[in-house]
Structure 1
Amino acid sequence: MTAPHWDAEYDVVVIGAGAGGMAAALTAKIEGCSVLLVEKTDRVGGSTAVSGGAVWAPLNAQSARVGHPDSFEKVWTYLRNTVGDAAPAGMQQAFLRHGAGMVDYLEKHTAVRLVARSYSPDYYPDREGAAFGGRSLDPATFDGRELGAHFRELRDPLPEFMVLGGMMVNMTDARHLLAVTRSFTAWREGMKLVLRYFADRLRGYHRGTRLVLGNALAARLFKSVIDRGIDYWLDTPVEKLDVSHGAVVGVSLVRAGKPVQVRARRGVVVATGGFPWSEELRSAHYPSPTGPWSMSPQGNRGEGIALARQAGATLGQGHTSPAFWAPVSVLQRPDGSVVRYPHLVWDRAKPGLMAVNGAGQRFVNEATSYHEFVRAMYRSHATVPTLPAYLVCDSDFMEQWGMGLALPGGRPRDHLVKAGYLVKAPTLRALGDALGIGGAALQATAERFNAQADQGRDDDFGKGSTEYNRYLGDAAHQPNPCIGALRQGPFYAVKVFAGDIGTAVGIACNENAQALDAAGQPIPGLYAAGNDMHSVMGGEYPAPGITLGPALTFGWIAGRQLAQAAPSHP
C-alpha cells in the first residue's frame, strides 16, 4: 500500500542534473525504471556544462583505432604510480572495469557521442603505464537547435569559452581564429564559425548553437533525457531524504514554493556537484588560505553531501587533496560582478611566460598540470608568500598568446589594466615594484630564465621537459616549445589564486556506487555520483577527464544497480 503522505511516486529519484546525475537517470530509465530528475537551479548541466568536457575512460573501444592500444595492466600500473593508495583499490579497479562499458552503453542508447583523442598525454607521462593518447575522449560537437525550446534550459558555458559574446570555441577553433590573416585554411574555418554564429543570433538564439566541450556533453545528455521522457523538475531544491527502517525511501522537496514528498521505490542518487562554494566545508577541508575562487557553478554548496550525511552516510578518507586545483585569476567589474578565469591549458605552457611568488622568484614548472601548479603554490607559500602568485610575460607573448582575460592580437586591454586585473609596466624592474614583489628580484629571476631559454632548457624546474608540457607548448618554437625569453617591453602580469574546478572529498561509496555508513556498510536506497562521491582518484589528477570519466561511470553503475534493486516498503 502506498503511504498517504506521498505526493508522487517514482522508482528512482536523482538529485542534480550534471553528468553523473543524468547518466544515472538515463540508465535507470533505459533499464525500465520510472525516474524523476530534480535540479535546484533553473538550468540543466551543472559543472559539466561549464567544463572542458574531457572524459577519461581508459580501455575504451576507440583507443587502438587512434593508435594507442591499451591494457588493464598498463593503465592499472599508471594509477598505482599516480593515485596509489589515495583511493580504495577496489574503487579504482571498478572504474577501470566499467568505464569502457559505460561509453559503449551511452553511445548505443543515448545521444552521447565521445571521440578519443589521438594525441593527449596523461599528466605524468614519464611514469610507468602512462599513455600519449586514446584514454581521454571529447564530446562530439552538438547542434543546440536539436534541443528546441529546451535550449534555454541548458546552462551556458563559461564566458571565457566563448567569443563575440556567445560563440563557443575549443582550442582548435581558437588557433584558427588567431591565424585567419595568415592561413587560408584558418580563414575558411574561422569564417564558417563566425557565419554560423551570426546566423544563430539573427534567428533569435541567445547564444551560438554550435556546442563544444562540456556544454556539448551536457547538451547530449539533456537531449537524451528529453527523448527518453524522463520527468525533470527545475528550481526544485531537496530539503531532506526520507528514511524508513534505515533505508532511504523518498525525498522531501520544494516545488513552486510548496512542499512535496516523492517516494523513491528503489532509491535516490545524490549528484549535486560537491561543495566548492560552501565556505564552511572549504574552511574545514581546504588548506589555508582559501577563498571564493572555484570555477564550479556557485550553486554547488554541498547540499547533496549534507543530505546524505543526515541519512547516515560518511565522508571518504585517505585523499591527498580535497579538491581538483586550478590557478584562477579574478576580475572585479565596475558593477561589482566578478569574472574568474581558469589558467588550464592555454597560456602557462607557452614560451615566454614565467610564474613567480611574492619574492619575485620562480617556484614551479609553469607547464605542469593545473592541479600540480596550485599544489606548488601551497608548497611555496609555506616559506614565501605565493598565494597569490603572478604570471609574467612580455609584449611579444601578449600579442601572440594573450594571458588570461587579456586577449592577443592587439585587442583592447586598457580596461583590464584600469580594473587592476592586468598590471603593465615598461620594464621588468618597474613591473616587480608595481606588484610589490621587488623589481630587482623579478629582473634577476627573468635574467636567469632568459639565459636558460636561450639554451632551450629549464635547469631549475624543467619546463618543456615532458611530453605533456610539449603537447601544450608551441610546436613552432624550437628547440624547446615551452620556454622562451621575456625581453620586449612593455611587460605584463596577472595575479592568480588557488582556485579549483571541483571538490574531491565526498560521500564514501562502494563499487556499486552505494553510500556507506560509519561501519562501512551500504545504506539501502542511497547512491552517489559525480563530485558528491568521494573521488576515485583520491584527489590526484592523473589525466584530462578524471572527474567526468568517473562521474559518468558511477552514475551508470548506480542506474544499473537501482534497476535491479527490490522496491522499498512505503
Structure 2
Amino acid sequence: MCRRGLSEVSPAYDVVVIGAGAAGMSAALFSAIQGAKTLLVEKTEFVGGTSALSAGSIWIPNTRHASAAGATDSAANVEKYLQQIVGNHADAALRAAFLKAGPAAIEVLENHSDVKLRAYACHPDYRSELEGAALAGRALEPLPFDGRLLGEAFKLIRPPLPEFTLLGGMMVDRIDIGHLLSSTKSIGSLVHSVRLVARYAHDKASHGRGTRLVMGNALVGRLLYSLMRQDVDILTGASLAKIIRKPDGPVTAASLTSEGVSREIGVNGAPILAGGGFNLHAGRRLAALGTEAGWSSVAAGSSGDAQDKAIEIGARLSERDVSAAFWAPASIRRRRDGSQAVFPHFVLDRAKPGTLVVDSNGRRFVNEAISYHQFALEMLAKGKSAIPAFLIADAVSVRKYGLGMVRPGGWGARAAVADGYLSAADTIEQLALRLNIDPGQLRETVDKMNLYAQTGLDPEFGRGSTVYQNHNGDASAGGANPNLGRIATAPFYAVRLYPSDIGTSSGLVTDEAARVLDAGNQPIAGLYACGNDMQSIMGGTYPGPGITLGPAIAFAYIAASDAARRVGIE
C-alpha cells in the first residue's frame, strides 16, 4: 500500500473506488486481486467508515463456513425466507445475484487476502418464526486481528465507539465478555481475562488504544492489511468533485479535491461508488429520514456526495424501500470532551428479563425483544409519544446485564444518574414522576409485566415467542420465559431511547452487475456502486445480522469483476 497525497497519485487507474468503508475497501481489494491498478479514495482521515464502528457481522448464506458450523441451507431456502420479508420492495434479480456471488466473494477473500472469517455458532435470522429462516450458518464474523501488523497504518483505522470498549480503549467481543463475566468462577476465564487486560495495558502505552482488533475494527484491519500487501494506493482527505462522462457515453475520469486542490484522474475501467450513503446529507436527510442528524449512529463522511455526483450525470435513487434507512433505538449522552455519544441498543438489554419499554403515556407499544430495526420502526410509527421512549429496568437487571452505557455489574450507574443519562428512583411511582409519566399508569404497566413474567406469556405483544427473541434473552435466569422477568427490586432505572439511523437503504439504482442505471433503466457505462451508495437488496427491511455488510462485500466483488473485464482483465 502507498498512502499518497493528491499530487502524488498516478494520472490514471483501472479502477478508482470512492469511499473506504468495508464496501469500498472490499471493492479495491477485489480489483487489486484481479490485477487492476487501483486507487482507493476516502474523504475523512480514517478508513473503515461506519463498518469500523459495527459488530462486523456479514450475512452471506451458503459459504463454506456454514457447512463447517453444521448448518444445512440452500439458495432456494434463503430466497423463500427473503421473499416473505422483502417481497417486491427490491429487485429479485439483485437477490439472486447476491446469493450466487456471496459465497464466491468469501472464497476469493479467504484464498487471496488476510480477511479471515468464521460462522457464529448460533445467530438466528431476525424473523426466525418464518419459513426458511436459519439459526446459524448465514452470519459470519471476522477473526480478531493484531493491529500491530499495520505499523504506522494502524492510525488510519477509525477507532471504535468508546462506549463499546473497556478501560478506555480495550475492544472485546462476545467471547471476551463471557470470560470477563466468568473470571471469578472459572480458572480458564480468569487466565483469558488477565491476558486480555495485560495485552491492553501494553497497547495503551505504545499505541494509545488496544491493538487487538475485534468485530468491525477487525474486518477493517484485515482489509487494510490486505490492501497494503496488494500495494493499492490509498488517498485520504480527498473528495469526489465530479464524475466525468462523455456525452451519452462512458465515464472516463473522476475529479478529486483535497485541501483546495483539484485533480482529474483518468479511469480506464470504472469508478466504483461506495461513499456510505446519505445519512448526513444536508438536503436529503430530513426529507427522507425525518429525524435529527444528532441521533444518527453512522460515521462522519456518510453525506451522500458521491450519490449526488452520480445523479448529476443521470443516475437515480431507489424509491421502493419500506424505509429509506436502517434503524436502531439509541440512547444519547454527552461525553466529558463535549462530544455526543449515540449508543445503539442492539441486543444487550432490551430483550433481557426485568426490563420493559413504555411511551410517554406509560404504556407499552412494542415487543421489546424484536430486532432493533423493527423496534425503531415501531417508534417512528408511534410518533411523538414514543420519541423518546423509556427503557425501564430494576436493580437486579441492571446489575446482571447493564443498561445502555452502564456496564453489567452496574458499573457507571452512579455517574450516569448524576449526569442525567439515567433516571433513578426508589419506587416505580417516583420514577414515573421524574419521567413526566402518570404514576398510576406506569404502575399498572409494570404490574402487568410482572404477571407475564410469572406465566411466561405476553398476551399484548408476544415477547419471547420466537427463537431469535429467546436467543437475546437469558435462559439461565430460571424464569418461565427467557425474555421476561419481574421488575421488583429498587432502585428502578430508566434511559431515554431515540430512533437512530445506522445506514441508508435507499441508494443508487443498479442492475445485478452493480452497474448504475439511468432514468431509462439503462447502465451508465463505466459507473458502479456498492455498499450503502447502492440501493439495498433488502428494500428497507432487516432480515438478519449483517445484511448490510454481506451484500456490500458481494456487490463489491461483482462490481470489481465487471470493471476488470472492461479493461480486459479476466
**TM (normalized to structure 2)?**
0.95
Structure 1 residues 309, 343: CA separation in 2 closer, same or farther (over 3 Å shift)? same
Name the counterpart of 1:556. Answer: 557
Name the counterpart of 2:345. Answer: 343
Structure 1 residues 200, 290: CA separation in 2 closer, same or farther (over 3 Å shift)? closer
Give the drift of 1:257.
3.5
1:322-344 superposed Cα distances (whole Å, 9 cap, x missing partner): 11110010002465321110000
CA contact (8 A) 1:7 1:261 kept: no
Q: How does 1:263-412 map to 2 (within 5 A)?
A: 263-286=266-289, 288-333=290-335, 335-381=337-383, 385-412=385-412
Q: How does 1:92-491 map to 2 (within 5 A)?
A: 92-202=95-205, 204-246=206-248, 247-286=250-289, 288-333=290-335, 335-381=337-383, 385-478=385-478, 479-491=480-492
Give the drift of 1:184.
2.6
Give the drift of 1:201.
2.2
Give the drift of 1:289.
4.4
Give the drift of 1:318.
0.9
Give the drift of 1:444.
0.8
Match of 1:238, SS state, is strand
Q: Does 1:67 align with 2:85?
A: no
1:351-377 superposed Cα distances (whole Å, 9 cap, x missing partner): 111011111111111111000101111
Give the drift of 1:139.
0.5
Give the drift of 1:280.
2.2
Instruction: Count residues with an aligned counterpart.
Output: 558
C-alpha separation in 1, matches of 2:282 and 2:369: 30
Give the drift of 1:7.
7.0
What amino acid sits opposite 1:532 in the alignment? Answer: D
Give the drift of 1:293.
1.2
**TM (normalized to structure 1)?**
0.95
Identical aligned pairs, as a percentage?
43
C-alpha separation in 1, matches of 2:412 and 2:129: 40
Match of 1:476, SS state, is helix
1:384-435 superposed Cα distances (whole Å, 9 cap, x missing partner): 7101111000111111111001223242323322322111111111111111
CA contact (8 A) 1:505 1:535 kept: yes
Match of 2:99, SS state, is helix
1:263-312 superposed Cα distances (whole Å, 9 cap, x missing partner): 111110110100111242121212x4444211110221111111111121
C-alpha separation in 1, matches of 2:166 and 2:39: 36
Deviating 4+ runs (over 6 angstroms): none
Name the counterpart of 2:4. Answer: none
What amino acid sits opposite 1:536 in the alignment? Answer: I
Structure 1 window deviating more from structure 2 (170-179 vs 127-136): it is 170-179
What amino acid sits opposite 2:440 in the alignment? Answer: A
Instruction: Select 2:34's aligned residue among 28, 31, 35.
Output: 31
What amino acid sits opposite 1:476 in the alignment? Answer: S
Match of 1:292, SS state, is helix
Structure 1 residues 50, 483: CA separation in 2 closer, same or farther (over 3 Å shift)? same
Structure 1 window deviating more from structure 2 (540-549 vs 44-53): it is 44-53
Match of 1:128, SS state, is coil
C-alpha separation in 2, matches of 1:124 and 1:447: 29
What amino acid sits opposite 1:483 in the alignment? Answer: L
C-alpha separation in 2, matches of 1:186 and 1:428: 37
C-alpha separation in 1, matches of 2:414 and 2:124: 37
What amino acid sits opposite 1:339 in the alignment? Answer: A
Give the drift of 1:256.
4.5
> Alignment RMSD, CA only?
1.5
C-alpha separation in 2, matches of 1:148 and 1:377: 44
Q: How does 1:464-543 map to 2 (within 5 A)?
A: 464-478=464-478, 479-543=480-544
C-alpha separation in 2, matches of 1:372 and 1:548: 18
Match of 1:13, SS state, is strand
Q: Does 1:20 align with 2:23?
A: yes
C-alpha separation in 2, matches of 1:545 and 1:31: 26
What amino acid sits opposite 1:344 in the alignment? Answer: F
Structure 1 window deviating more from structure 2 (82-91 vs 248-257): it is 248-257
C-alpha separation in 1, matches of 2:233 and 2:337: 38
C-alpha separation in 1, matches of 2:293 and 2:39: 35
What amino acid sits opposite 2:134 in the alignment? Answer: A
Name the counterpart of 2:6. Answer: none
C-alpha separation in 1, matches of 2:411 and 2:120: 32
Structure 1 window deviating more from structure 2 (419-428 vs 330-339): it is 330-339
Match of 1:207, SS state, is coil
1:469-514 superposed Cα distances (whole Å, 9 cap, x missing partner): 1111112023211110100111100001010211101100000000
Name the counterpart of 1:546. Answer: 547
Name the counterpart of 1:3. Answer: none
C-alpha separation in 1, matches of 2:317 and 2:82: 22
Name the counterpart of 1:48. Answer: 51
CA contact (8 A) 1:67 1:118 kept: no
